[in-house]
Amino acid sequence: CRTRSSATDMLDRLQQQLSDTYQADPGYDVRDFLITDRRVAHAISGDNVLTAGGETLLVQEHEEGLSMSLYLEAGILERLESDDPLTSLRDEQLDDFCKVIEGLSHFNYVAWRASRDRSMSLLELELQAEVDKFVSTMQLALHQGDNELLNGLYARLFNDIALRPELDDEQSERYRAATEFAARFCRGLRRRMLEKGDVALPELRRFFRLPLGEKISHINTRALSSA
């Protein structure tokens, strides 16, 4: 189901921003796969604990391919709709905004790779989402000239991370690893984006297309060269 026009417009623009950043068209409009009712998300997911966080990509693999739905809690979209973050992203909107970016990242990445018959791990999916949250918010802050957000974003996203209590040990370790790898990658990326926003695009596009092992090798190489 589709939410109200201003919320769907925001989703359309953010999905297009991600597609343009990576030159990777997922081939599908996320709004056609959107669920905002928690009860429906619980029913489809079999009461998956991840729906408690307000955002999760629901995927089912079958003989014909994949079935997907993106759950974004209605309240998240309503809060963002009340004051368009694409015009001016306020500090108290950042958590909701990042949840939307994470959902869009998951959707785009799975759709793009599935259309090319490429597999992926859950760690790879979460790592890309952590990078996308940083990159998309940096792009927005640069566009809006928000120096306070530019200066504080890295710490907000990567320092003192509190994992959700409903996660099991395996999920917690995966999110922790994804955050640590993304933090190492984005530390140097931040400097290049501040120097000139589009100078990092070729690297980001290569990174997006790398398999997980090569992503980690790239992160480690970049970290060593910056040491």
Q: Alpha-carbon distance 140 to 112, whole Å?
A: 23
Q: What is the pLDDT of residue 51?
A: 66
* pTM for the whole structure: 0.92
Rounded mean pLDDT of the chain? 90
Determine contact, residues 10/97, Cβ cutoff 8 Å. Answer: no
Q: How confident is the model at residue 49 (pLDDT cuts 50, 70, 90)?
A: low
pLDDT in tens, 14-33: 999 999 999 999 999 999 99
Q: Alpha-carbon distance 187 to 189, whole Å?
A: 6
Residue 61 pLDDT > 80, yes or no? Answer: yes
Residue, of 171 and 2, whose pLDDT is higher: 171
Q: Alpha-carbon distance 192 to 105, whole Å?
A: 22
Angle at 88 between CA 75 and CA 158, to 5 degrees: 75
